[in-house]
Amino acid sequence: MTPATALPVAISCGEPAGIGPEIAAKAWAALRGEVPLFWIGDPAHLPADVPVVVIDSPSQAAGVMDRGLPVLSHDFAAPNTPGTANPANAQGVIDVIARGVDLVQSGQAAALCTAPIHKKALQDGAGFAYPGHTEYLQALAGAERAVMMLASEQLRVVPATIHIALREVPKMLTPTLLRDTIRITADGLRSQFGIAQPRIAVAGLNPHAGEGGAMGREEIDWIAKLVTDMSAEGYDLRGPLPADTMFHATARASYDAAVCMYHDQALIPIKTLDFDRGVNVTLGLPFIRTSPDHGTAFDIAGTGVANPSSMIEALRMAHRMAQS
């Protein structure tokens, strides 16, 4: 049982027309007595069969968890139709994220767990100027740079470049970018995961890590030197490693996180190993933020079949990170 005095995890509602309200309710049902939490959003957007307890302050959340989903009410402009985003609600989604950040930074919540948003709906309805959650959170926090980690019980991965075309990766992947990614990953493993001396595996960019230059020269020209230099500075690094041999069970046991060069190099192995329970963690922020590793799933919203596993794991991980 979690002590009633533990700070709760805040859940921002995300896109109300997606599966966010449903998986938040299912997560509450699964985590009663384990993780104190509260949901920020319009109670009318939750499934009708969910018991709700409206609270005035996050401090009340732990005490009412056994009665219903604690909800910090936030009025939205329009009703909700599952599966169809309403532009009138876009500003409400954005404001709830900012409210969640304020609560965490003011010490009223232990962490922020964000339900999926629909970027186009926010852009169309409220002129949202950010590519996604991470960049908006970075701006709210005034952080220099945020890094996306995907984490599960079996693997943690961090892509150095994210949502860009594969042909752009060699141009975007610079020594400064990779150094910052490794540094932020190491700092996050220490401060948020409680790993005093994190071990980080660094993937090569090219097949077989370039195979001595036969399949690309980035490893020879600068990646290996950067790994050597940072190792001399006290980082526990290994690499650059061939990506096709660094994700089997024996290899994974030798490191705490893998820094990869591009999106699919990082996300394919973790989604293959643990598709339903992967968690998105943002490193580099002055607070803890997790999120389920999936989207709004408009096609099944409102049907009651959404799988809450990733949301449950995101809340559990946020709670553990806060405690460590």
| DSSP per-residue string spanning 167-208 | GGHHHH--HHHHHHHHHHHHHHHHHTT--SS-EEEEE-SSGG
Position 106, amino acid: S
- Give the CATH number for residue 243: 3.40.718.10
Q: Are residues 122 and 199 in the same domain?
A: no
Q: What is the DSSP letter of 211?
A: T
Q: Are residues 240 and 125 in the same domain?
A: no
Q: Are residues 85 and 42 in the same domain?
A: yes
Give pLDDT tens digits for 296-317.
Answer: 999 999 999 999 999 999 999 9
Check the CA dihedral 266-267-271-277 and report its sign.
positive
Binding residues: 133-134, 163, 208, 263, 271, 280, 289
CA Rg, the chain, in Å? Answer: 20
Instruction: Burial-class residue 154 by CB neighbours within 10 Å (0-12, 13-18, 19+).
Output: middle
Binding residues for a divalent metal cation: 163, 208, 263
Identify the pLDDT of residue 132. 83
* C-alpha atoms less than 13 angstroms from C-alpha of 50 in its C-beta half-sphere: 25
Expressed as residue numbers, the domain containing 230 is 154-273
pLDDT exceeds cutoff 60 at 4: no
pLDDT exceeds cutoff 50 at 9: yes
Give pLDDT tens digits for 260-302.
Answer: 999 999 999 999 998 888 899 999 999 999 999 889 999 999 9
Position 114, amino acid: T
Other CB atoms within a 10 A radius of the CB of residue 266 amount to 27
The residues pairing with 39 across neighbouring beta strands, listed in sequence order, are 11, 71
Rounded Cα–Cα distance for residues 104 and 110 (Å)? 6
Tell me whether residue 149 is in a domain: no
What's the structural domain count of the chain? 2
Q: Are residues 196 and 215 in the same domain?
A: yes
Q: Are residues 1 and 130 in the same domain?
A: yes
The residues pairing with 81 across neighbouring beta strands, listed in sequence order, are 84
Tell me whether residue 279 is in a domain: no
Q: Are residues 15 and 97 in the same domain?
A: yes
Binding residues for substrate: 133-134, 271, 280, 289
Average pLDDT over residues 112-137: 92
Identify the pLDDT of residue 148. 94
Residue 172's pLDDT band (cuts 50, 70, 90): very high
Q: Are residues 140 and 1 in the same domain?
A: yes
Residue 5's pLDDT band (cuts 50, 70, 90): low
Identify the pLDDT of residue 25. 97
Q: Are residues 15 and 96 in the same domain?
A: yes
